[in-house]
Amino acid sequence: MSERHPSTSDPAREGARARAHGRPKDACPYPAGSPERRAWLEGYDGAPDDRAPDLPADRT
């Protein structure tokens, strides 16, 4: 049985929430090289790994 992070079923959404709450990118709870880590980082960056990250919205 593979071990999953208990607090989420969607690592990409968890990564996006982490960024929205101001958590650092290195707060990813998944092990290096895992598909969950890649998805979490993609969610954090707001883009798939093969695309540049979204720029922050201009709040003027």
Distance separating alpha carbons of residues 49 and 45, to the nearest angstrom: 8
Task: Give the pLDDT score at 39.
Answer: 95
Q: Which of 27, 43, 36 minimizes the C-alpha distance to 2?
A: 36
Q: 59 versus 43: which is more confidently predicted?
A: 43
Helix residue ranges per DSSP H, the chain: 11-20, 35-45
Cα separation, 17 vs 43, in Å, equals 8
Residue pLDDT, tens place only, 14-34: 999 999 999 999 999 999 999
User: What is residue 57's predicted lDDT score, i.e. its pLDDT?
Assistant: 72
